[in-house]
Amino acid sequence: AFGQVVIGPPGSGKTTYCHGMQEFMGRLGRKVTVVNLDPANETMPYQCSVDIAELITLPDVMDSLKLGPNGGLIYCMEYLEANFDWLQEKLAAFKGHYYLFDCPGQVELYTHHDALKNIFAHLVKWNFRLAAVHLVDSHYCTDPGKFISVLCTSLSTMLHVELPHVNVLSKMDLIEQYGKLAFNLDYYTEVLDLSYLVDHLASDPFFRNYRRLNEKLVEVIEDYSLVSFVPLNVQDKQSMRQVMQAVDKANGYSFGEQEHRSLEALMSAAVGADFHFTSTLAVQERYVQSQDKAVEEEVMDL
């Protein structure tokens, strides 16, 4: 059984991604089952086959145990881990399907708490071929400080979850609304020489005092050399296809016989690259065009 565990901070677009990917894969002929593991998720736009709300809900935990939302989520995940046979029984009804696991939006669950990590490990023991899809809002690219923080969070999540990992910059269709990027988009997706980002950050009087700290954080990120991003616009079919190909390679689906494998997919796997340059370039061109249009409008106003 192949699948994706969709993780990331609150508001990064996990539920929207699951809805879009379910529809996209459905058009390709895949049987897709979406599993909601977020006990706080009350409105789901996708067709949900397995819902954790049948086992436990966050409002009930908060009311009965007098916990806050963060403590309540941790309790819910520990409760799911303790009642793992419930999840096993539910998933057994959809044998042969492709699974999308919509996970909670609490960062601590992926960086240092073990409940979800253990749940994923149990799924792997059941011969689930899973890949973690870590969504990050693209607006963090417009702030160097926030982007370094996102890189640290992504790296910590990759090391803790212990699954094949695909980091995704979501909401790329809105990036022009967030402000001007200091560098080209491929600088952020490929996480190129971060010393330029530290220099750019030092131009801010507040961050100038923390330059040494930022340099050390950047060194850790570059020493591991694990983090890179795939740009995603859920409304763009080509963008969804690029993300799907990256995930299919990560969880091994592209090496199976479930569907026809194109020459591009085979070559992409053979050389160890996904050829994301084309998709990144297309997003960059749209971003530059929107920036040029904004400048033209300002000139016209003057």
Whole-number pLDDT of residue 264: 54
pTM of the complete model: 0.84
What number of other Cβ atoms are within 10 A of residue 106's Cβ? 22
pLDDT tens over the chain, length 302 residues = 899 999 999 889 999 999 999 999 999 999 999 999 999 988 889 899 999 999 999 999 999 999 999 999 999 999 999 999 999 999 999 998 999 999 999 999 999 999 999 999 999 999 999 999 999 998 888 888 889 999 999 999 999 999 999 999 998 888 778 778 888 888 888 888 888 888 888 888 888 888 899 899 999 999 998 999 999 999 999 999 999 999 999 999 988 765 555 545 555 555 444 445 555 555 555 655 555 565 566 556 65
Whole-number pLDDT of residue 200: 86
Helices (H), ranges, the chain: 14-27, 58-65, 69-82, 84-91, 108-111, 115-125, 144-161, 175-178, 185-189, 195-202, 205-208, 211-224, 237-251, 263-271, 277-301
CB-CB contact of 77 with 116 (8 Å): yes
Whole-number pLDDT of residue 292: 58
Whole-number pLDDT of residue 217: 92
Whole-number pLDDT of residue 262: 52
Whole-number pLDDT of residue 267: 53
Question: Residue 187 is which amino acid?
Answer: Y
Beta bridge partners of 137: 170
Whole-number pLDDT of residue 160: 95
What is d(CA 35, CA 44) in angstroms, rounded to the nearest whole number? 11
